[in-house]
Amino acid sequence: MERTRPAQSMQTGMFRENLGIHPRPAIVISDLRHKPEFFDTVADRIWRVWWKERGHSLESIANRLRETLDARPIPFALAAHHGTTYAGSALVIASDMEECPQYSPWIAAVWVANPYRKQGIGAALVDQAAHATFSLGINRVYLCASRQHRDYYLRREWTQIEEDVGAGLLTVMTRKASGTKNSTPINEI
């Protein structure tokens, strides 16, 4: 079965409050390959949030992110935007945790810019990343979350499969494609 890249963009239908007078245009979620003008911003966010304090350079993160721009189905990056304004992003990568090499692929580096938080954009990014992955013929996707965010994902069709993983004591979760037969995660066999 040939796997193709996810669709170029998706209208999410979300609106920011605008004093009830006129709704603002909807946030759009696009494959970063089709919106390369957001590349530097996505790289910068990933670097600042997850890698800067660990001593990694912005250049090294940008080089890794560049892998999402080629023709391979995975990895890929999604950018949420309001016109030319960045609103958030998410990645789908082969592996997000060295401690869990048996799981692949992962939704990772989900980030929503402050002005766009609490509007469902993070959930839309995660859903679009999952559905784009499922459209490749992959029946299961993974993510990890801190204890602080675990319940958020459990309320959104994610199932916890491991807890207190790695130095960050993260929870590993999975989500299955609709209609996928319920199966036991690898580590529970």
pTM of the predicted structure, to 2 decimals: 0.82
What whole-number distance in Å separates Cα of residue 94 and Cα of residue 107?
9
Q: SS3 of 12, please? A: coil
Q: Report which of residues 23 and 166 the model is more confident about.
A: 166
Of residues 187 and 119, the one with the higher pLDDT is 119
Q: Name, in order, each residue with C-beta under 8 angstroms of 131's C-beta and a sequence gap of 6 or more.
A: none
∠ CA(114), CA(97), CA(53), 5° rounding? 50
Whether the predicted pLDDT of 186 surpasses 60: no
**Sorting pLDDT into bands at 50, 70 and 90, what band is 25?**
low
Residue 15 has pLDDT above 70, yes or no: no
Phi-psi region of 20 (alpha: psi -120 to 50; beta: other; left: phi over 0): left
Q: How far apart are CA 35 and CA 148, in angstroms?
A: 32
User: How confident is the model over 150-173, as a mean pLDDT?
Assistant: 93
pLDDT category at 24 given cuts 50, 70, 90 is: low
Per-residue pLDDT for 87 more than 90?
yes
pLDDT at position 2 is 43
Thinking of the domain 9-139, which architecture would CATH place it in?
Answer: 3-Layer(aba) Sandwich (3.40)
Neighbours of 1 (CB within 10 A): 4
Q: How confident is the model at residue 123 (pLDDT cuts 50, 70, 90)?
A: very high
Average pLDDT of the chain?
Answer: 85
